[in-house]
Structure 1
Amino acid sequence: MTDSLPDDVADVLDLVLDPAEPVHVALRRQVPQLRVQSRCTCGCGTAYFALDTDKVVPAPTGPGTVVAADVQLLTGTGECPGEVLVFVEGGYLSWLEVCSWSDDVEVSLAAARRWLTSPS
C-alpha cells in the first residue's frame, strides 16, 4: 500500500528540483501523482516512490536509472555531512535518497530540509 506524499519529501523535492532546469520542470509535473511506497528503516528519510505512469509524461532523461538531482548539504558551520539525490528510472521519479558522509553529524531528511532552507 502506498501513502500520500509526506510534507518532508514534498518540501525536499521542491528544494532540489530547479524550476529553471527543463528536466526538473518535467519531474516537478510528476510530483502531484507521486506517492511514497516505502521508506528506509534506518531513519535517514530515504523514500521510494510509486507513480501512476499513465497519468504523467516522462522527463527527458533517457532510459535506465539516472541521478536527476544531486545536492550537497551544508550545515550552519559550513560542514558538508552528506547529500540528497533524486533518482529517475525511464524518465519517472523513482526515489529520493539521503546520504551521510559523516559519523559526527546526523543526516536525515528532516536535517536536509532544514539545511536546504537555512540562509547561507
Structure 2
Amino acid sequence: MTESLPSDVAEVLDALLDDDDPVHLALRAQVPQLRVSGRCTCGCGTAYFELNTVAVQPAPSGPSTVVAADAQIYTENGDCPGEVLVFAQDGYLSWLEVCSWSDETEVTLALAQRTLRR
C-alpha cells in the first residue's frame, strides 16, 4: 500500500535538492506527485518512491540511474558514520537511501535530518 510522503522524507529531499541546480529544480517539481511505496525494514529510513510520471516532466539527469544529490551524515561529536543519497532513474525521483559506513553508530533518516538542519 502506498502512503503519502512523510514529513521526514519531504524535509530531507527539501534540504538535498537545492534551488540553484536545474536538475534539482526539475526533481523538486516532482515532489508534490511523489509517494512512498515502501521503506527499508532495518529502520534506517530508506524510502522507495512511486511517482505519477504522466503528471511531471523528467529531470535532465540522463537515461539511467544516477545519484542526484547526497550529503554526509554527522553525529553530535563530529563523526561521519554515513550518508544520505537521492536517486533518480530516467529523470524521475526513485528512492532516498540512508547508508551506514560504521557498525558502531546507528545511521538513520532522523540523524540525516539533524545533520542537514545545521
Q: TM-score by structure 1 length? A: 0.95
Deviations 1:9-44 (A, max 9, x none): 000000111111110010000000000000000000
Unaligned regions of 5+ residues in structure 2, if any?
none
Counterpart of 1:76 in structure 2 is: 76
CA contact (8 A) 2:73 2:111 kept: no
Alpha-carbon shift at residue 74 of structure 1 (Å): 1.9
Q: Which amino acid aligns with 2:96?
A: L
Structure 1 segments of 4 or more deviating over 3 A? none
Q: Which amino acid aligns with 1:78?
A: G
Q: Which amino acid aligns with 1:60?
A: P
Moved more, 72-81 or 54-63: 72-81
Counterpart of 1:12 in structure 2 is: 12
2:64 aligned with 1:64: yes
Give the aligned length: 118
Unaligned regions of 5+ residues in structure 1, if any?
none
After TM superposition, list the pairs within 5 Å mapping 1:2-41 onto structure 2.
Answer: 2-41=2-41
Counterpart of 1:52 in structure 2 is: 52
CA RMSD of aligned residues (A): 0.8
2:117 aligned with 1:103: no
